[in-house]
Structure 1
Amino acid sequence: MRHLVGLVVQILAFLNIFVKMLPDNILFVPTILIAIAGTIKYGERTRALYLASVENLKELMVKSLRFHPSSNVTRPQGTATQSNIGNEEETHRGRLKTAFHYFQIFKGLVIDMMPEH
């Protein structure tokens, strides 16, 4: 909310200055283009910060079909065990699948949801 208020204040300040210099403004088009680019950039940052908030993350994870707080932790098929970790046949894709699987399980820790063991 603080960044959204900052965005509105900066847009109002720009409009105030722009209107005052409008009669003598020979750089009208570049000024408008820079203002649009700055507004988009500030808006993107504000939206990214909103989407990265813990409250929004919790809401998205609860709605997600992939994350179930009551699901059991299981090893995905085709993943490494202690006996074959050094095996050279294990592919990079398999490691990524394993990492993503455990990421999906333990990302709930960020929002205070504990997976069942």
Structure 2
Amino acid sequence: MGESYSSLQIQSAMENNEIMLFFEPRLNTRTGYFSALHAVVRWHNPRRGQLILDDFKTMLEDESAVRGFSAWMLKLAFAAADEWSSHGYKFRLAVNVTHVLECQIYH
């Protein structure tokens, strides 16, 4: 990675809307229909470009940072789901916070 980042930098990036949730459709191969939306995190870092969660999850330095980041992901996902639901869309939403919580194993 070359550069050191911290939980504070991640918090700042979240506040500046550099880290966002995107929703990818998941295809059910048995039915051929899209069965769910999967929330994924992307960080548009001004210096390093587009980063996926695996690129920065170890920068969440302690349990409170991991919990805060996971709560932030869920808050955004539920807000999006509420908005879509208010327009009559029916869908299933998947948010994998386990992937974030795995970073605790590395510390």
* Shared fold, TM over 0.5: no
Q: Which is greater in Rg? A: 1
TM class, shorter-length: 0.3 to 0.5
Q: Where is the helix percentage greater, Structure 1 or Structure 2?
A: 1
Q: TM-score, normalised by structure 1?
A: 0.31
Q: Where is the strand percentage greater, Structure 1 or Structure 2?
A: 2
